[in-house]
Amino acid sequence: MKTPLNISGQSLISCPVGVLAKQSLRHQVALFWHTLRQVYAGCAGARSKILLVENSLATELRVKGLAWRDELGAPYVIAKPY
């Protein structure tokens, strides 16, 4: 296995964006976070922040039961939709 990259500083390199109402988002975020930890190891949290949007349409219901995002351990921000 390759060793993690050593990059100095606290530069944000990746900011994926997704809508919480989309079921596939959970798997995409998990894959993203797993890969980032493989590359940056302990620095992964300083290198990324996941932007989650509550819903994209006024007619969409707000998602309940989002314990998975805390269990993931990735840094995230939840934005208002409009």
Torsion of CA 33, 36, 41, 47, to 10 degrees: -100
pLDDT value at position 17?
83
Residue 44: other Cβ atoms inside 10 A? 21
Q: Report domain extents, the chain.
A: 23-79
pLDDT value at position 1?
42
Q: What is the pLDDT along the chain (82 residues), one digit of tens a residue?
A: 444 445 555 566 777 888 887 777 888 888 888 888 888 887 788 778 888 888 877 777 777 767 887 888 888 888 887 7
Q: Tell me if the pTM is above 0.75.
A: no
